[in-house]
Structure 1
Amino acid sequence: NSFYLKIRLKEFCSKFQIELSNIVDNHTTHLITDEEGETLVCPLSKKVIQSVARHMYIVTYRWIDACLKANQILNEKLYEIQGDLTLSSDHNGMQRSRQSILPDSLPKNLLFENFSIMLKCNGCQEMMNNDELIELVQLSGAKHTTDSHFSRLQIGITRIVLCEKEYLINRREMYEKCIQAGIHFLTPEWFLESLVQYRIQPFQEYQITP
């Protein structure tokens, strides 16, 4: 239960001189999460998404118990989360993200580095507001743009507008011009689901039309 887990977590942090935080930021190295049984599958939460964007270890609580039992910090790999309850149980996006910045993965390629993304949505499914989405866009290597000259051709850059269907109501003319210029209108779920799985998802399922 959660009370027991909190006690174990405090014991773990005290024993190994580890700082405990309730937020995921640039100082965080590990996210400890619940899992479904002992399946290495966790609920998909905002913190999980923020951790994938920062290439961190995302591990089950069992890692803490194993370290305490062994009286030393154990290799995380046996306890690394492999999937989530929303998208897939074994997409391995967490591991792909973490390994993408290891020294032997040079040159480091961020997932969205060839993308320019404009937000015309209001967050995503009450999970995230726009400021949090923008932070993830930037952490993932994309250029966040608010520029009205977005439609000008940029060689090698894929241009995306994240929006909901309501945004395109009464904007058909603008939509047609943008489509002709090669801009894609996608739901914000496309960005988050690509990020979590650490693979660019096909546009088709997420495309928005007026």
Structure 2
Amino acid sequence: MKPLSEHILSQSFAPTGFSLIEASAGTGKTFSIQTLYLRLVVEHGIPVEKILVVTFTEAATAELRERLRKILEESYKNLTAPEEDPPEPANTDTAATNTEPNRIKEILALVPHSIPERINAEEMKKRRLRRALLDFDQAAVFTIHGFCQRTLNEFAFECGQDFDTEVISGDALLAEICTDHWRAIMYKKPTNAAEDLIQAKFPDPTKLTSLA
């Protein structure tokens, strides 16, 4: 069986439809996302704003966005000012030979789809990469909650939501619930003994939140 890094570089692997990549940390998931992203841009001509990339944290989103931009830049440089082929490494291990320049060259060697007859393949690849770089500020790379908020805002009318809907974190929601509960108890004016106990254990809502 081919390693995943080789499989997704193959012309026989179509980066469209549904695929599941299941792997543990440090095994090349981001590498695979970069490869698929570049193939969708170069081979299929899909605009960056039409490719949805979703991850978990703000830090991971920033890193992934930077790595996607970098591989687009390196690919465009490769087409506009190609360098000499890198020397063959002494180690023949697959992971060692699958370097960044080799990966980019393999992807750029794939035949792009939907090419007008008057434009050759190389020119079409350059156009697609240049457009992707110019439009990269619109690239759809989000956290899960960021994507949900954007979707709710863009389709607020269809969803029956307010146009300024805000997606809040679980911690913020928990703090709000605990505050409401604390106020509900205190506003009932409990007996002196109960009030003393509440004030001693939970003088403010933050103490109640810490127990949740």
TM-score norm. by structure 1 comes to: 0.24
More strand by share: 1
Query: Normalising by structure 2, what TM-score?
Result: 0.24
Query: With CA pairs under 8 Å and 6+ residues apart, which has the higher RCO, 1 or 2?
Result: 2
Q: Which has the higher helix share?
A: 2
